[in-house]
Amino acid sequence: MSERTLPDASMLHGWRKSSYSNDEGGSCLEVLDTDSATIPVRDSKNPHGPALLLPSPAWTSFIDSLKASHYHG
């Protein structure tokens, strides 16, 4: 495992799909809520593929930016 990726994300359990996802096969992210300093994120269509390991502050900033763009435009 490199510092920023996990080669096989299926090793982790408890993935949560975006509430904006549906069953029609759209592009979706899954996130694993953890108490660690990194947040695993993967492509829901490739559960055995890699996961990005994002620093917790970067994930929080990403979510805050999405929320701000949703409310402003």
Integer Cα distance of 56 and 38 in angstroms: 5
H or E element in which residue 68 lies:
helix 56-72
The answer to whether the beta carbons of residues 42 and 73 sit under 8 Å apart is no
pLDDT recorded at residue 15: 94
pLDDT tens, position by position, 16-54: 987 766 666 667 889 998 888 999 999 988 999 999 999
pLDDT value at position 22?
66
Using alpha carbons, select from 10, 70, 2, 71 the residue that is nearest to residue 45. 10
